[in-house]
Amino acid sequence: MGTELESVLVSKEQIDAKLAEMAAAVDAEYAGKDLLLVGVLKGAVMVMADLARALSNPVTMDWMAVSSYGAGTQSSGVVRILKDLDTDIQDKHVLIVEDIIDSGLTLSWLLSNLGSRGPASLNVCTLLRKPDAAKVDIDVKWVGFDIPNEFVVGYGLDYAEKYRNLPFVGTLAPHVYGG
């Protein structure tokens, strides 16, 4: 491990096993229905790719890009749409795929934004959640791992755009971000 990384919090093996479990639950929930997975760029790229491939039922996929973190380790609370969906989600079953719910501000904003477009159903799955950091209460159908309130990187998650390609989730040494 490089000197910038402090520890592995969730290993590749743990992620693979959890996504297989989540995929089975998603398959069961949406059996016989058309499901649209909405991945939240950029962080959810890895979860989306691996979760989708673990599903047995066919799905369609679309992406939204929003950003509230910039280069820091704290949410600004201001969510910006950088890219909207390509598809109309009215009357569709929609599952938002996220890498992490931290303050919950991104998801809370997304749920109200997508909810106003009239989907047949709207649910959320996330690989990680920080219960101690929640600023808003959100109903999340599937959560992979509840983790401590520490800044994490890897498996899609970045610090100033770095570390997204790590195959595991790890904590960053505080000296890297001045913590």
Ligand X SMILES: O=P(O)(O)OC[C@H]1O[C@H](OP(=O)(O)OP(=O)(O)O)[C@H](O)[C@@H]1O
Active site residues: 102
Q: CB nearest ligand X: which residue?
A: 43
> Considering just the CA atoms, what is the radius of gyration of the chain in Å?
16
Could you tell me where the beta strands, DSSP code E, fall in the chain? 5-10, 35-41, 60-67, 80-83, 93-101, 121-129, 142-146, 152-153, 169-172
Token pair for residue 54?
Answer: 């673990």
Residue 68 interaction partner, one of ligand HPA, Mg ion, ligand X, none, beta carbon < 5-8 Å per kind: ligand X
CB under 6 A: which stretch of 12-20, 40-48, 49-57, 171-179 binds ligand X? 40-48
Phi-psi region of 42 (alpha: psi -120 to 50; beta: other; left: phi over 0): alpha
Residue 129 interaction partner, one of Mg ion, ligand X, ligand HPA, none, beta carbon < 5-8 Å per kind: none
8 Å CB contact between 96 and 114: yes
Which one among 98, 102, 124, 142 touches ligand HPA, defined by CB under 6 A? Answer: 102
CB under 5 A: which stretch of 1-9, 54-62, 68-76, 162-170 binds Mg ion? 68-76
Specify the 3-state DSSP secondary structure of 124: strand
Q: What is the 3-state secondary structure (H, E, C) of 10-56?
A: ECHHHHHHHHHHHHHHHHHHCCCCCEEEEEEECCCHHHHHHHHHHCC
Site for Mg ion in 149-168 (CB under 5 A): 158
Which one among 22, 38, 97, 99 touches ligand X, defined by CB under 6 A? Answer: 99
Residue 106 binds to ligand X (criterion: CB under 6 A): yes
Site for ligand HPA in 129-168 (CB under 6 A): 151-153, 157-158
CA–CA distance, 140 with 132 (Å, rounded to integer) = 15
Residue 57 binds to ligand X (criterion: CB under 6 A): no
Q: How far is the CB of 159 from ligand HPA (least distance, A)?
A: 6
User: Where along the sequence are the contacts to ligand X (CB under 6 A)?
Assistant: 40-43, 67-69, 75, 98-107, 158
